[in-house]
């Protein structure tokens, strides 16, 4: 494939990447808006069925600054560990910070949360919808990689619906409840109660206890 063909298809770069979770193949895709998204994989993807897939949205505060306000870093790490253990799988890393509102507005939302708003109302007070993320680029990446069907690592029913509507064949779901702590417990409970995330309060309590035990 020539460079021009790569750019026209959306595919831009490829390399092997050794990490603390094992070695991955990493592909970069450029969207029409110039944002670069990642496909991080293990094993053969061409024609794969029931492939374990995590579609993960960027979280600078959690993944770089180790913020305790969310569970994003733990979910990303958990997904990478999971596909390594399975010997095959894919994490699609989408550059859409703060459920699509951007880093600056995410910090503004955090400030409103400090004043008593929850994560949903903070977005609304800033004039945004509850979740502005889009998953069409993830569907395009799966299509270009010739993945036929996926088992999603997610708790978010809206993500499942969006991918199905974009043409992705979803054959199953693996829950991924991790990184729960005393700071973000209410945030995660809000996502369950107001955004329909697929876990119950007992799952959060158990994950928080497991996290505390690991730190001891």
Catalytic residues: 131, 133
Among the residues of 100-181, which ranges form H helices? 103-114, 119-125, 136-144, 157-165
* Residue 90 backbone phi and psi in degrees, to 5: -150, 135
Distances from the Cα of 189 to the Cαs of 25, 60, 70, 92, 99, in angstroms?
Answer: 35, 22, 11, 25, 17
User: In the structure encoding, which two tokens stand for residue 100, read together?
Assistant: 């699509």
What is the rounded distance in angstroms from the CA atom of residue 39 to the CA atom of residue 139?
A: 12
User: Among all chains, which residue has been given the structure tokens 């910070």?
Assistant: 97
Q: What does the CA dihedral 53, 107, 122, 205 come to, rounded to 10 degrees?
A: 50
Give how far the C-alpha of residue 181 lies from the chain's centroid of Cα atoms, to the nearest Å: 19
């Amino acid at each position: 494939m020539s460079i021009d063909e790569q750019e026209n298809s959306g595919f831009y770069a490829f390399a092997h990447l050794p990490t603390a979770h094992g070695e991955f193949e990493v592909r970069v895709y450029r969207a029409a808006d110039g944002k670069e998204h990642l496909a991080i994989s293990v094993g053969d993807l061409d024609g794969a069925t029931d492939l374990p897939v995590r579609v993960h949205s960027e979280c600078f505060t959690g993944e770089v600054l180790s913020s305790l306000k969310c569970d994003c870093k733990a979910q990303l790490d958990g997904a990478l560990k999971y596909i390594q253990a399975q010997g095959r799988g894919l994490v699609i890393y989408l550059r859409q910070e703060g459920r699509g509102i951007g880093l600056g507005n995410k910090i503004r939302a955090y400030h409103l949360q400090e004043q008593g708003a929850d994560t949903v109302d903070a977005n609304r007070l800033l004039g945004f919808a509850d979740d502005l993320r889009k998953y069409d680029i993830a569907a395009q990446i799966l299509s270009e990689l010739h993945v036929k069907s996926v088992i999603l690592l997610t708790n978010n029913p809206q993500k499942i619906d969006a991918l199905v509507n974009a043409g992705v064949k979803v054959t199953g779901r693996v829950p991924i409840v991790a990184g729960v702590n005393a700071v973000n417990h209410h945030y995660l409970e809000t996502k369950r109660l107001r955004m329909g995330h697929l876990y119950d309060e007992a799952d959060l309590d158990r994950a928080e206890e497991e996290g505390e035990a690991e730190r001891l």
